């Protein structure tokens, strides 16, 4: 097929001619370690459920749930991403060169999600162990009920950051509009500075870890307290 070309440098898939099903099926049984995808045009569910150590480059904008449930693969999106980017990611790396819509990295268990621009509402909601690095700002209710993992925000954070936070830790370079229930600012430690430095290096962002603040759980919501009358 003219829309599927293979060379010594990798495989090229063109969504202008191939169906989304054909592209995803090819990604699930790759014949090359490097795959380039052309003309995504905002399509949904692109490059989902990958389970091989391949490199995928998507040239353009993607819709809902791009690179969801990723395992092992390294996926780069040269555009913006719709809701649910890298949702339930297990391992590997997903990077969007533009902006990400709501719920980026939702329920992600492992791997690294890098967003070069801003992330919208609920970034890292219910995070379960992955690392997220955002080059810009994050919207309200980011890290809501985040259970494990680390989020680095190089810009500002919206309202209710870390609401109902558990063991995940958030590092913010800019301003925090407000903290959510049971989230609190804590002193940065030598270990925190090392973590932020490592994640910034992996994301290729040139900031100093000394500029960041730590947000973690106050751990008042771990157990039901009848005397609190639901007032936290």
Residues 11-34 as b or e (16 or more Cβ within 10 Å = b): bbbbbeebeeeebbebbeebebee
Q: Is residue 131 over pLDDT 80?
A: yes
CA–CA dist 96, 77 (Å, integer): 5
Per-residue model confidence as pLDDT tens digits over 70-127? 999 999 999 999 999 999 999 999 999 999 999 999 999 999 999 999 999 999 999 9
Cα–Cα separations (whole angstroms), residue 223 to 111, 136, 173, 217 = 30, 34, 31, 13
What residue segments make up the domains of the chain, in order of their start?
Answer: 4-228
CA–CA dist 78, 228 (Å, integer): 48
Residue that has been written with the tokens 């495989």 in this structure: 11
What is the assigned CATH class of domain 4-228?
mainly beta
Per-residue model confidence as pLDDT tens digits over 162-176? 999 999 999 999 999
| Confidence at 7, pLDDT banded by 50, 70, 90 | low
DSSP 143-198: TTT--EEEEEESS-B-TTBTTT--S-EEEESS-BS-B-TTEEEE---HHHHHHHHH
Q: Is residue 3 over pLDDT 70?
A: no
| Confidence at 1, pLDDT banded by 50, 70, 90 | very low
Mean local confidence (pLDDT), 141-145:
98
**Tokens of residue 115, six digits:** 């967003």
Long-range residue pairs from 131-137, CB within 8 A, at least 24 positions apart, any chain: 131/199, 131/202, 132/104, 132/105, 132/108, 133/199, 133/200, 133/202, 133/203, 133/205, 135/203, 135/205, 136/99, 137/174
Q: What's the mean per-residue pLDDT of the chain? A: 94
76: CB partners within 8 A, 6+ apart: 55, 56, 57, 58, 94, 95, 96, 97
């Amino acid at each position: 097929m003219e829309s599927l070309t293979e060379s010594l440098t990798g495989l090229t898939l063109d969504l202008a001619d191939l169906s989304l099903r054909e592209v995803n099926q090819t990604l699930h049984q790759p014949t090359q370690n490097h795959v380039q995808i052309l003309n995504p045009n905002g399509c949904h569910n692109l490059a989902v459920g990958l389970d091989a150590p391949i490199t995928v480059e998507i040239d353009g904008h993607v819709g809902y749930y791009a690179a969801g449930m990723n395992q092992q693969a390294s996926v780069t999106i040269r555009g913006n991403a719709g809701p649910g980017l890298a949702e339930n990611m297990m391992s590997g790396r997903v990077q969007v060169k533009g902006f990400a819509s709501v719920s980026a990295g939702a329920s992600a268990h492992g791997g690294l999600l890098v967003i070069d621009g801003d992330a919208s509402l609920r970034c890292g909601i219910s995070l379960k162990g992955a690392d997220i690095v955002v080059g810009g700002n994050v919207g309200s209710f980011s890290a809501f009920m985040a259970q494990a993992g680390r989020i680095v925000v190089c810009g500002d954070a919206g309202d209710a950051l870390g609401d109902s936070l558990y063991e995940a830790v958030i590092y913010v370079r800019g301003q925090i509009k407000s903290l959510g229930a049971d989230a609190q600012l804590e002193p940065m430690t030598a270990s925190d500075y090392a973590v932020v430095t490592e994640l910034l290096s992996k994301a290729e962002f040139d900031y100093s870890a000394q500029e960041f603040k730590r947000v973690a759980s106050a751990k008042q919501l771990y157990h039901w307290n009848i005397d609190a009358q639901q007032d936290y």
